[in-house]
């Protein structure tokens, strides 16, 4: 009789390396360089905004790859591992409301879309919707009729994008985000299935394509910070292109970054990928702890302080995650 651990799908080092790269992009996107180095946006602003084009959507797409479509126990377990930190975080963030008005707190919790400016309170609920879609997406690739129906559904959604944006805050658990990303998810799943053929293209070529596509999308459509709604749709800090051509380039951008790092098995990157969820939850809290009281910075603001804070923002969550996995074996399946 197999043990529960033996029935769980093993993690793929290549996919964990991709997650490791993506979580570093998330950390980089939150670096307060102005506080540490006094830098103006400039080239860093361009790079920072471009990161939003692929790190979060590719995290969502990789969540669809965790476990086979028929493994319902693994699906349920994965969803619970997402919901538990979401509930705990929401309880802490909204503890006065929880203590004084628990029913109001429950209603807010159920929205799963409480605050677009607090990443955890929108990303984790949206990740639940993505994980629930995963079995359907796997089957879609094997059923042409489903694929045609899905394309029709998505075209209808995309054609009403501006209407959808105005109602985003009323749609629970990022369902609109998940539906808007359907073609993205399907193409990434298909790329993973055919990675042996795509591997004939060198990682360097994929990297050049990824950088070129990011630059092209950036120049084609103003980023969310340039225009709030009408050119780039900003759903819960996730940049989704508004035009069909840019959307298709966006999908290929995700595949390009996936294939760039898919064959990487560098242990430090794999390690970060396996602890991606704790890093996502805690890295910005480390940043804030130092920024609230600048005197905590070693030697004051500067390159040394920035290096120390970045290392701590990654090392502390990884250390806590390793400790949690020693105390609770199930925690070793934490990961985006």
What DSSP letter does each residue of 197-251 carry, written as one string?
HHTTS-HHHHHHHHHHHHHHHHHHS--TTTSSSSSEEEETTEEEESSHHHHHHHH
Alpha carbon 305 to its chain's center: 27
Contact 315, 307 (CB under 8 A): no
What's the first-to-final CA gap in the chain, in angstroms? Answer: 29
Residue-range domain boundaries for the chain: 4-333
pLDDT tens digit sequence for 275-312: 998 898 889 888 888 776 666 666 667 788 788 888 99
Position 159 scores a pLDDT of 85
> Smallest Cα–Cα separation from 335: which of 261, 258, 271, 257?
271
pLDDT at 330 over 80: no
pLDDT tens digit sequence for 107-116: 888 888 766 5
Reduced to 3 states, what is the DSSP secondary structure of residue 240? Answer: strand
Contact 185, 175 (CB under 8 A): no
> Smallest Cα–Cα separation from 272: which of 19, 8, 10, 11?
19
Using a pLDDT cut of 90, give the percent of the chain over it.
Answer: 26
Exposure pattern of 152-188 as b/e (b: 16+ CB <10 Å)? eebeeebeebeebbeebeebebbbbbbbbbbbbbbbb
Position 233 scores a pLDDT of 60
Could you tell me the CA-to-CA distances from 185 to 150, 177, 258 in Å, in that order? 12, 12, 12
Contact 68, 121 (CB under 8 A): no
pLDDT at 197 over 90: yes
Question: Does 86 or 41 have the greater pLDDT score?
Answer: 86
**pTM of this prediction exceeds 0.75:** yes
């Amino acid at each position: 009789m197999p043990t529960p651990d033996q029935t769980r799908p093993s993690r793929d080092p290549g996919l964990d390396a991709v997650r490791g790269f993506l979580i570093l992009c998330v950390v980089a996107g939150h670096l307060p360089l102005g506080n540490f180095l006094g830098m103006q946006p400039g080239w860093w602003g361009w790079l920072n905004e471009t990161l939003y084009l692929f790190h979060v959507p590719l995290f969502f797409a990789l969540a669809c790859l965790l476990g086979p479509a028929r493994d319902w126990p693994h699906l349920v377990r994965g969803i619970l591992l997402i919901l538990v930190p979401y509930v705990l975080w929401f309880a802490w963030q909204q503890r006065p409301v929880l203590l004084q008005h628990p029913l109001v707190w429950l209603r807010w919790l159920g929205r799963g879309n409480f605050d677009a400016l607090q990443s955890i309170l929108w990303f984790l609920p949206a990740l639940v919707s993505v994980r629930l879609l995963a079995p359907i997406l796997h089957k879609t690739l094997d059923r042409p009729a489903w694929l045609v129906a899905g394309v029709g559904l998505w075209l209808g959604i995309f054609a009403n994008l501006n209407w959808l944006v105005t109602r985003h805050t009323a749609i629970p658990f990022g369902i609109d985000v998940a539906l808007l990303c359907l073609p993205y998810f399907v193409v990434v799943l298909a790329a993973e299935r055919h990675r042996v053929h795509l591997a004939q293209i060198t990682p360097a070529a994929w990297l050049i394509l990824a950088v070129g596509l990011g630059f092209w999308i950036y120049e084609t459509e103003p980023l969310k910070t340039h225009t709030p709604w009408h050119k780039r749709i900003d759903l819960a800090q996730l940049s989704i292109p508004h035009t069909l051509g840019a959307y298709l380039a966006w999908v290929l951008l995700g595949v390009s970054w996936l294939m760039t790092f898919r064959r990487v098995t560098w242990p430090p990157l794999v390690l970060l990928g396996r602890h991606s969820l704790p890093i996502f939850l805690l890295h910005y809290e480390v940043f804030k702890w130092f920024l609230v009281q600048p005197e905590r910075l070693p030697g004051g603001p500067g390159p040394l302080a920035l290096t120390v804070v970045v290392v701590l923002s990654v090392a502390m969550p990884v250390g806590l995650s390793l400790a949690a996995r020693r105390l609770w074996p199930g925690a070793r399946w934490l990961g985006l």
